[in-house]
Structure 1
């Protein structure tokens, strides 16, 4: 009998060989000593593959930039929409013209490495998380294959070290303010005197600023809770000096009345002129909290001003005022030494 293609013998049992759905060669035992039964088994396997492939929806050649438009439209009502939009726009500049099913693990890992040259692991992770989530929706909407999602899913998030605590000295703060451009200067002063995040500052509206009662009300914060920030004399003078009319909704706007989107160019330039290295805008928030702590302000108050949900994040500033332990013991010493005799008298009487 002539040899049948895809069927071979191992001992006395016939085996079959065929190409699987992904093109890889599959070999398995037909569990029979009959060539006819082996042929039938092979034919059934091939038929199953053809039928399965017919049921698979092959996504069209959709470019990442076109998909991104639909994803952002879907995310429009989410609280995190602005962050997603900003990150997605940056992803579009890199991957915009790439078809969704051309994404690979190697490609994403390369992107990670490149971003790490200028960004912290935490920042890079936010972009990767967005990519992963967006591709989950792409598969759900039949715009990308499960295989592509698996490839992206294999890329692991980077280890984040959140212990960094970089802050400026009083002298550095003054030097930085002096080197700022006119539009950046009040933004930096607000950051140094409130500890507000960049997004909170650039999105600040005049209706949130109560100069009469002396506070700024943040109603849409990162942790979803409202917080009030007192306005000190320096901050008051800065805010009062900013011109605004009834048509100006936002506090910080360009010459066309539009709110600033970022300080990605102006802030690093100011730092360079001031001779300040390894410093990010977010570190102004650390500077605010660090100087409060060094001035003896308690951790709970700093937590409330920063808007931290728990004390865990705020405790990073605890070591900046080691004197608080000595003060605590001194208070206890005074209290005990002043009441010892009276307490002893009471005990003796009882």
Structure 2
């Protein structure tokens, strides 16, 4: 049965107490609105179709995300980047009640987070201004926004299925369009750019880290987490126990890669059984790379582009898909293709060689026929 109480100027509280259901209350500007709300809730209870939304009303989006991180994310083997994405979501949605999270809210978040596009014909000054604006407003690319939306959607879905949080209109994140993907990057550093980058570095370790990335196609975090116990110089192998995909892999080491690791070993007073090979953590590698890139005046080069460069070089050396995937850790050709950018001049040379070989074969066949 519903009761009504005036709590102040334009404040009418409706409270519903009914056997078999939790107490329910809400405050409205007028008594008429309070009565309409109470009648609607009681009607649902009578028809046994009422679903309690109190948890969604009392739980904020930030609280949901923080619980999701504690109880779900931290149980995964590889979750290094998820906490920072959850922090971004918590800063944006703050204390917004989960019941008020609508598809419109999510779409607004998507648009606010997406960085402003830089026109191809924009001047250097305009490009720099847009870049500064994106950094100031903490805007990011489509891939990053999509990952944040996916985490939010997963948290809401988990809350609904596992924690008894009922949302009358379902998961609002699932119906919002993800940002359109950007074209795959085709940026490959030249040898001259790599030399300039290393020359302008203020870190004594960045040169070896960059060269190792190009030799092995390892990710930034994988290089930062190399430990001596996983290095087998006698067999020229390196074991990577924790990867982005959660699947450990063992990669071969080229002679250049072995020499890089030996240089790190020579800098130590004794041969270690464990411990990190490089003293820089992942974020420090990025910061050192950015400082060197800016001093060297190199445009649009990221540390991850070195992984692209390595994969492309493997193909140019003649390694097949399976061998390259074994080294890079890609599970299928489609994902590997994104990181592979063969140089047009190299492909042109291969075409010439193939044509010459074909002409030679035709000549031999004709001579045999004669």
Correspondence 1:297 to 2:318: yes
Superposed CA deviations along residues 303-339 of structure 1, whole A, max 9, x for unmatched, are 4433333334455534633222222232233344345
1:181, 1:270 within 8 Å by CA — same for their partners in 2? yes
Residues 191-200 or 142-151, more deviating: 142-151
1:101, 1:148 within 8 Å by CA — same for their partners in 2? no
Q: In structure 1, what is the equivalent of residue 178 of structure 2?
A: 157
Matches within 5 A, 1:68-147: 68-72=65-69, 73-117=71-115, 118-142=139-163, 144-147=165-168
Other structure's SS at 1:241 match: helix
Q: In structure 2, what is the equivalent of residue 5 of structure 1?
A: none
| Pair member with larger Rg | 1
Q: In structure 2, what is the equivalent of residue 267 of structure 1?
A: 289
Q: TM-score, normalised by structure 1?
A: 0.70
Other structure's SS at 1:135 match: helix
Other structure's SS at 1:228 match: strand
2:78, 2:243 within 8 Å by CA — same for their partners in 1? no
Matches within 5 A, 1:175-324: 175-182=196-203, 183-223=205-245, 224=247, 226-233=249-256, 235-242=257-264, 243=267, 246=272, 248-254=274-280, 259-261=281-283, 263-293=285-315, 296-300=317-321, 301-315=323-337, 316-318=340-342, 320=344, 321-322=346-347, 323-324=349-350
Matches within 5 A, 1:1-40: none
Other structure's SS at 2:54 match: coil
Superposed CA deviations along residues 22-58 of structure 1, whole A, max 9, x for unmatched, are x9xxxxxxxxxxxxxxxxxxxx988533545864141
Q: TM-score, normalised by structure 2?
A: 0.67
Closer/same/farther in 2, CA of residues 177 and 229 from structure 1, 3 Å limit: farther
Q: In structure 1, what is the equivalent of residue 355 of structure 2?
A: 329
Distance 2:97 2:53 in 1: 16
> Quick one: which of 41, 58, 61 aligns to 2:58?
61
Q: CA RMSD in A?
A: 3.5
Residues 216-225 or 324-333, more deviating: 216-225
Q: How many residues align?
A: 298
2:213, 2:307 within 8 Å by CA — same for their partners in 1? yes
State the 1:130 CA deviation.
Answer: 0.9
Superposed CA deviations along residues 124-171 of structure 1, whole A, max 9, x for unmatched, are 211111111111112224464424753322321112135221111111
Distance 1:62 1:129 in 2: 20
State the 1:291 CA deviation.
Answer: 4.3
Closer/same/farther in 2, CA of residues 143 and 69 from structure 1, 3 Å limit: farther
Superposed CA deviations along residues 33-87 of structure 1, whole A, max 9, x for unmatched, are xxxxxxxxxxx98853354586414116234444334322223333443333343
1:101, 1:144 within 8 Å by CA — same for their partners in 2? no
Distance 1:97 1:238 in 2: 50
1:198, 1:281 within 8 Å by CA — same for their partners in 2? yes
Closer/same/farther in 2, CA of residues 208 and 337 from structure 1, 3 Å limit: farther
Other structure's SS at 2:80 match: helix
1:215, 1:231 within 8 Å by CA — same for their partners in 2? no
Closer/same/farther in 2, CA of residues 70 and 250 from structure 1, 3 Å limit: farther
Distance 1:205 1:147 in 2: 50
Structure 2 residue ranges without an equivalent (≥5): 1-27, 29-38, 116-138
